[in-house]
Amino acid sequence: MSPEVRAAPRTALVVVSYGSSALLAENFARTASAPGTSAVVVDSWSSADERAAVRALVGRHGWEVVEPDGNVGFGVGANLGVARAVLAGATHVVLLNPDLALDPDDVARLVARTVEDPDALVAPRVLAPSGQPFAASTTDLLLDDGTMRSSTRRPDPSDGRPYVEWLSGACLAFDVTLWQRVGGFAEDYFLYWEDVDLSVRAQEAGARLVVAAEVTAVHDEGGTQGRTGRAKSETYYYFNIRNRLLHAALRLEPADRRRWWRTTPRAVRSVVLQGGRRQLLTSVAPWRATFRGVRDGRRALRAAGTRVAVGPTSERPRAAA
pLDDT value at residue 248:
97
Q: Which domains does the chain have, with CATH numbers?
A: 11-219 (3.90.550.10), 234-304 (no CATH)
Distance CA 148, CA 107 (A): 29
Q: How far is CA 267 from CA 68, 181, 279, 292, in A?
A: 33, 32, 18, 15
DSSP H helices, the chain, are: 21-23, 29-31, 48-61, 73-87, 104-116, 176-182, 194-204, 234-251, 254-262, 264-272, 278-282, 285-304
pLDDT at 293: 98
pLDDT at position 313, please?
53
Confidence at 224, pLDDT banded by 50, 70, 90? low
What is the reported pLDDT for 159? 87
pLDDT for the residue numbered 222: 62
pLDDT confidence of residue 39: 99
- What is the tens place of the pLDDT at every residue in 91-125? 999 999 999 999 999 999 999 999 999 999 999 99
Does residue 320 have a pLDDT over 50? no
Asked whether the predicted pLDDT for residue 5 surpasses 70, the reply is no
Q: How confident is the model at residue 221 (pLDDT cuts 50, 70, 90)?
A: confident
Measured between alpha carbons, how far is residue 270 from residues 18, 229, 243, 266, 277 in Å?
A: 26, 18, 14, 6, 11
Q: What is the pLDDT of residues 293-318, one digit of tens each?
A: 999 999 999 999 855 455 555 544 33
Of 2-11, 124-133, 275-284, 311-320, the least confident: 311-320
276: pLDDT confidence band, cut at 50, 70 and 90? confident
Which pLDDT tens digit goes with each residue over 53-63?
999 999 999 99
Q: Please write the tens of the pLDDT for every residue from 197-215.
A: 999 999 999 999 999 999 9
Whole-model pTM? 0.91
Q: Is 6 exposed, middle or buried (0-12, 13-18, 19+ CB in 10 A)?
A: exposed
Write down the pLDDT at residue 49.
98
**Which DSSP letter does residue 8 get?**
P
When mean pLDDT is compared across 50-64, 161-175, 257-271, 273-287, the lowest value belongs to: 273-287
Residue (of 247, 238, 225, 216) closest to 290 by Cα position: 238
- Residue 253, pLDDT > 80, answer yes
pLDDT (0 to 100) of residue 155: 87
Q: How far is residue 248 CA from its own chain's centroid? A: 17
Cα–chain center distance at 305? 27
For residue 267, the model assigns a pLDDT of 95
Pick the more confident residue, 41 or 224.
41
Report pLDDT for 319.
37
- What's the chain's average pLDDT? 92
